[in-house]
Structure 1
Amino acid sequence: MSDRPRGYNGRGGGRGSGGRGGGRGGGRGGHSSHTERPKKESILDLGKYMNQKIRVKYSGGREVIGTLKGYDPLLNLVLDETEECLRDPEDGRLLDQTRTLGLIVCRGPAVILISPMDGSLEIANPFIQEEEAVI
């Protein structure tokens, strides 16, 4: 260690700011002036669903219905008066039973689907044909 010159930090280039990025000018590619970029808009505008009932589906298969109270750009949601739609543990079908959760925070990375409850109606599956008696 004593045979190294003074100020040696163990990395290349004993002068300036040490190797990469250069010592002058900004280190990130040239321009030193800040340019204004237009603000990115979210694909989904959740503002129009504030204080309305929405259904949220998670990546694990769980579903909840609640009143949207808040959100952020990462799709973290705050729901109030929330109920979880229970599933049959054997085949995974939704049951008519619900479990009351109250005020919850839905983490954005786990959210797969967000749909409004207002204006949606559950109908019978048109692709399932009823079994007919075979003679």
Structure 2
Amino acid sequence: MSRKENALDLAKFIDKGVRVKLSGGREVEGILKGYDQLLNLVLDETVEYLRDKEDMLRITNETRPLGLVVCRGTAVMMVSPTAGTEELAQNPFMQTDGA
């Protein structure tokens, strides 16, 4: 194989919802409209998840609309699909007293 494969194939997420974590702690969610080899992303109908005012490390469910956004590839930490994901009430990897 002479062609190098990308570790992240974003083509399957085009026109689908994705959640993106950015360096600095911001999180946005929108519809992936485009990307390039440097992982610059174009998101439409984007909303930003706001941080908790008492605990700035915690993201809340409160959002603000951003619209069309370009995320610089150098700031992208994680891209995940919104379809098929759910938030767990408890960390399954946390040890309990009975373990």
TM-score band, normalised by the shorter chain? 0.7 to 0.9
Distance, in Å, in 2 between the alignment partners of 1:57 and 1:128 is 26
Residue pairs, 1:1-135, within 5 angstroms: 38-92=2-56, 93-126=58-91, 127=94
Q: Which consecutive unaligned segments of at least 5 residues does structure 2 have?
A: none
* 1:61-89 C-alpha deviation (Å, 9 max, x unpaired): 00000000000010000000000000013
Number of equivalent positions? 93
Residue number in structure 2 paired with 1:20: none
TM-score, with structure 2 as normaliser: 0.86
> Share of identical aligned residues, percent?
57
> Per chain length, whose mean CA-contact separation is higher, i.e. which structure has more relative contact order (CA < 8 Å, sep 6+)?
2
Please state which structure has a larger fraction of its residues in strand.
2
Look up the equivalent residue of 1:122 and give its one-letter code: E
TM-score, with structure 1 as normaliser: 0.64
Q: In terms of Rg, which structure is larger? A: 1
Q: Aligned Cα RMSD in Å?
A: 1.8
Q: Which consecutive unaligned segments of at least 5 residues does structure 1 have?
A: 1-36, 130-135
